[in-house]
Structure 1
Amino acid sequence: MNRQQRIYLFDIQKRAYTEGTVEQINDQWIFFDEESEEAAMLEDYLQQEIEIFRKNRWRKGILFESGKIRIGNEAIMLRDHDLVRIRKHLIYSLERLLEGINDDAFFHFITTLNSLNFSIFDCIYCYNHLSFLSDEQRKDGVNFMVFDNQEQICNVQHHFCYFEKINDRFEFTLNTGKRLIIEKMIS
């Protein structure tokens, strides 16, 4: 699995974006979150990935100025009530964890999480013990993650041992009592 395949798995995640509309009020652009109905200054999202819905499709760009999106070499001006979506950020410790595990473990973790109707963007807590072992030759321990998809909670324990063999075991436990364990070993 290469970097592009990992990025593709990120891109197809549910709930990866905060969707809403924008309005210009008193010469300032305001973003209204569709789900929470909260308002935020659009300038808080400068230099971040944003998508605008134009001509019946989403167009991806970077918000480079309040009210302006750069899509390739083109600058698009926002209009009142434009539908936009802003890419959510992963919790830093989860992002580091996903970068630190091998491709097979990454793929199996993400696809299993998705099969349980959770997205990596549903993560509300992550303890990444692996990040504290970067200088160790033998790395073993447990990482803890909690996901909330607004309908269920999923707790994930990632048991790992990286020494002579690479062993990743993920234990998924839902608030309903359903449990799933996947294990990936590489010699």
Structure 2
Amino acid sequence: MNRQHRMRLLESQVRAFTTGNIEYINNQWVFFDDETEEAASLDEYLHHEIEVFQNKSWKKGILFEDGKLGFADDIYFLKNQDLIRIRRHLVYSLERLIEDLQDDALIHFITTLNSLKFSIYDCIYCYNHLTFLNKNQPNSGVNFIVFDNQELICTVQHHFTYYEKNSDRFEFTLNSGKRLIIEKIS
């Protein structure tokens, strides 16, 4: 799986974006999050990619000063009540872990997480032990990840062994008591 395919997999996750409307108030653009109803200055996202909903589809562009959104071939001037969405960022250590996982293990991990009604973007904590190991040597250890989807908490222990054979075992435990274990050996 190439990097672009991995990005599409992450983009398709629920809660991958923060969505809301914007208003021009006191000479500045303010973003109102639909989910939390919190307000934030759109200036926080200057020179970052955001998307605006136009003609029944999302259009990606780079946000510039004065409410300008630059597309590859056009410039759009934001208007009051435009619906926009901003990509959420993953916890850095989880992002590194995702990069290190083999394709099959990553797909099994994310699909199982999704089946439990969690998104990769629900991560609130990740300890990635792999970042401290020499990748050119055989390794084993455990990573710890905590997810919160506003209804349940899910902890994941990722037991890995990378010798002649690679083994990734994920132990999911929800605060409801439900437990699930999956393993990918290659």
- Length-normalised TM-score, structure 1: 0.94
The aligned residue for residue 39 of structure 1 is 39
Return the letter of the residue paired with 2:121: F
- Length-normalised TM-score, structure 2: 0.95
The aligned residue for residue 93 of structure 1 is 93
**For 1:21-170, what aligned pairs fall within 5 Å after superposition?**
21-134=21-134, 137-170=137-170
Return the letter of the residue paired with 1:145: I
User: 73-82 or 128-137, which moves further after superposition?
Assistant: 128-137
Return the letter of the residue paired with 2:16: A
**CA-CA distance at 1:51 after TM superposition:** 1.1
Give unmatched runs, 5+ long, in structure 2.
none
The aligned residue for residue 16 of structure 1 is 16
* Deviation readout 1:104-150 (Å, 9 max, x if unpaired): 11111111111111110000010001111035612111000011111
> What is the percent sequence identity of the aligned residues?
63
**2:20 aligned counterpart, secondary structure:** strand
**CA-CA distance at 1:19 after TM superposition:** 1.0
Distance 1:174 1:11 in 2: 24
Distance 1:121 1:71 in 2: 26
**CA-CA distance at 1:177 after TM superposition:** 1.0
* Deviation readout 1:75-94 (Å, 9 max, x if unpaired): 11100111111110000000
User: 88-97 or 60-69, which moves further after superposition?
Assistant: 60-69
The aligned residue for residue 5 of structure 1 is 5
* Aligned partners of 1:42 and 1:66 also within 8 Å: no
* Aligned partners of 1:49 and 1:86 also within 8 Å: yes
